[in-house]
Structure 1
């Protein structure tokens, strides 16, 4: 994997990250199906700081490497080569997305209180938006958690689920519906809530097939949860707008990390195919295996290209980049799954055993077609934008092509 287009300092960081993950992190990986323990995570994070690869996406003033978003992908792919690499480098979801949003939106006091310790790896965080049906899920507008003004602040009531990272988190970013307060419109508002607040409670776990995200995906209950006025993140009533600041890059960084795991999976398959024989020939010389390998290389390279384009858009035009991130999310989540699935096929029976980590990798990436919005919801939005864009072009005078074949054949 070579990235000759990168600035020299970014390429040097990518190389350091590559060496650190392959020489230090890989040997510390838990067995397939098990979770990274806290002591190992803390040890790896300390080693990452010593190696100068910790928190690549975080500004240098907060202890990170200060890499701009258009150059995140090569580094996060190297981190993602191990399922625990992003945790070791402190660039794992949901913390990475929360750090990015806090850096852009939070007040200086909020940055001091929440961003600084999160960026340092001293605490973890969660993002509480998804709710049980009929609350917010694929449709954020269905948000049912509410926050009303109280003396000196707000009182939040609600029930969240799939609150990734909540177990053991230091704080959460909670999305709640707020009324028209005179100076602010009715809508959604984000609140910074300490997990030690007596009004917030981590509930029953949701047992999922993935294991890489620290803190699981439990239910979260907010009951008479009082927070002071300075707990508001951004402005009252503009929470959905701010959510796009977080969700666009967060979708894309998932793509980056999992693409690194797809590269690892293909490497495992190539190593096996190059050393094992079938019918007297190495597996990688057989046409059927070559087809699987070629298709995986194509999926990896097309995913890499769309990630690169989307990252550049997010840097130059966040609104356009957020729309493009839906396309990247759908393509990459499906392509990465195919790469790992083919790697399992090439490795045969060992591929579905715990002797190799590939089956667990498949478990890690399968939820990505649901997390950050189901692919079907993204496809619906992609199609709507395409139709609206074409209608706008026609209204501006572009030639209508819909009936070109009929007109050419003399039809009505």
Structure 2
């Protein structure tokens, strides 16, 4: 049977995380280092040290690498608490894309790669990127991958262009997806490479202007221009990138949902407090049916989203891949939480579209969440195919 009881020690840690975010992290939300492209590296490092001091840094990491080895369900509880502020996951080093990249590296990186890239990332000393999406190639359909890696038996030469590469500016660890051209040495096809950032051949053209601002470094446009990588830069096996990407994506879809559930709860709490104190037509606006129904719809949605996340996490903790269930969770939760944020803006009225509260920022970022790790339509397409297969 499924037990919905949160163990006492996990509940206590959840409460500690939430209080840490409220007391220590939320005051930084109006820091000028939170730029239009997200918090800068200086602020990230300061926040990381605050989490480290509380022993809350990268708690999700495997125990062998210094973390607590949280199960997926345990992550759901803790990440929801961390997500009360969009800076919470940044401080605790469980924000995208680093959280998903660390998970992937823990599964397929060799010992040398673990020492060079994973452990420094877990310790909060470097940021990582996953460079897949292309302007006219890989995106929702990674089979359209256009970036090419030519192998001469010793080195790869990579050429191509990527965009929407989260955190590209300043990242020290790069996971690059490129298509290995046919050659007599190794299997061809989509392949992952692991390398240091800032080297010749990695050209960051610009940081894109986007509606969201919660990811360190924003979203970059990147060009690989005769980037030379040794054979040792292979991450996993040549030609297996799409399989590895799926390994990363199922949990990453859910961790997005966990963090944004916390943000949506924050928006709801602000709207509820406003509805209690703002009056119109002779009584608090929360006593008007139109407003109370919106708050009620939010409460129902938050509950449904939490249960949907927990179910998919429970399946993975019990050995299932849960690709179907994680797709359902991502498509459902992202749509419902956006509706929650939208209703919160409506309840707040004029101040809802201003930066007087964080609800306006949560609303904009929540709109972007509907596209992260696959838009709703792609997930529904996959769900529909699974349903038809029976």
Flag whether TM exceeds 0.5 (same fold). Answer: yes
Match of 1:117 among 109, 114, 120: 120
Note the residue ranges of structure 1 that are not aligned, 5 or more in a row.
390-412
2:345 aligns with 344
Match of 1:269 among 252, 271, 296: 271
C-alpha displacement of 1:43: 2.1
Local SS of the residue matching 2:203: strand
Q: TM-score, normalised by structure 2?
A: 0.94
Check the 8 A contact 1:296/1:339 in 2, yes or no: yes
CA distance in 2 between counterparts of 1:301 and 1:183 reads: 53
Check the 8 A contact 1:62/1:120 in 2, yes or no: no
Q: Which of 308-317 and 86-95 deviates more?
A: 308-317
1:235 aligns with 237
Local SS of the residue matching 1:203: strand
Check the 8 A contact 2:165/2:220 in 1, yes or no: yes
Across the aligned residues of Structure 1 and Structure 2, the Cα RMSD in angstroms comes to 1.8
1:392 aligns with none
Match of 1:101 among 100, 104, 107: 104
1:407 aligns with none
Change (3 A) 1:157 1:269: same
1:93-134, Cα deviation, whole Å (9 max, x unpaired): 00000000000111111111100111111010111000011x
Local SS of the residue matching 1:18: helix
1:172 equivalent to 2:174? Answer: yes
Check the 8 A contact 2:39/2:217 in 1, yes or no: no
Check the 8 A contact 1:204/1:219 in 2, yes or no: yes
Local SS of the residue matching 1:386: helix
Check the 8 A contact 2:151/2:181 in 1, yes or no: no
1:157-203, Cα deviation, whole Å (9 max, x unpaired): 11111111101100210011124556754321100021122111111
Check the 8 A contact 1:173/1:191 in 2, yes or no: yes
Local SS of the residue matching 2:22: helix
Q: Which of 64-73 and 248-257 deviates more?
A: 64-73
> Residues 249-268 of structure 1: matches in 2 within 5 Å?
249-268=251-270
2:305 aligns with 303
C-alpha displacement of 1:151: 4.6
1:373-412, Cα deviation, whole Å (9 max, x unpaired): 12111111111110011xxxxxxxxxxxxxxxxxxxxxxx
1:13 aligns with 13
C-alpha displacement of 1:288: 1.0
Instruction: Indicate the structure (1 or 2) with the bigger Cα radius of gyration.
Output: 1
2:246 aligns with 244
1:371 aligns with 372
Check the 8 A contact 2:338/2:366 in 1, yes or no: yes
Note the residue ranges of structure 2 that are not aligned, 5 or more in a row.
none
C-alpha displacement of 1:216: 1.1
CA distance in 1 between counterparts of 2:285 and 2:96 reads: 37
Q: TM-score, normalised by structure 1?
A: 0.89
CA distance in 1 between counterparts of 2:328 and 2:186 reads: 33
CA distance in 2 between counterparts of 1:81 and 1:215 reads: 21
C-alpha displacement of 1:39: 3.0
Change (3 A) 1:50 1:4: farther
Change (3 A) 1:136 1:247: same
Check the 8 A contact 1:299/1:339 in 2, yes or no: yes
1:148 aligns with 150
Check the 8 A contact 2:211/2:365 in 1, yes or no: yes
1:79 equivalent to 2:78? Answer: no
1:28 aligns with 28
CA distance in 1 between counterparts of 2:172 and 2:211 reads: 24
CA distance in 1 between counterparts of 2:376 and 2:29 reads: 30
Paired residues, number: 385
CA distance in 1 between counterparts of 2:4 and 2:12 reads: 11
CA distance in 2 between counterparts of 1:71 and 1:182 reads: 46
1:196 aligns with 198
Change (3 A) 1:338 1:231: same
CA distance in 1 between counterparts of 2:41 and 2:224 reads: 27
1:58 equivalent to 2:61? Answer: yes
Check the 8 A contact 2:44/2:216 in 1, yes or no: no
Check the 8 A contact 2:129/2:171 in 1, yes or no: yes
C-alpha displacement of 1:324: 1.5
CA distance in 1 between counterparts of 2:185 and 2:323 reads: 28
Check the 8 A contact 2:156/2:228 in 1, yes or no: yes
CA distance in 1 between counterparts of 2:331 and 2:276 reads: 32
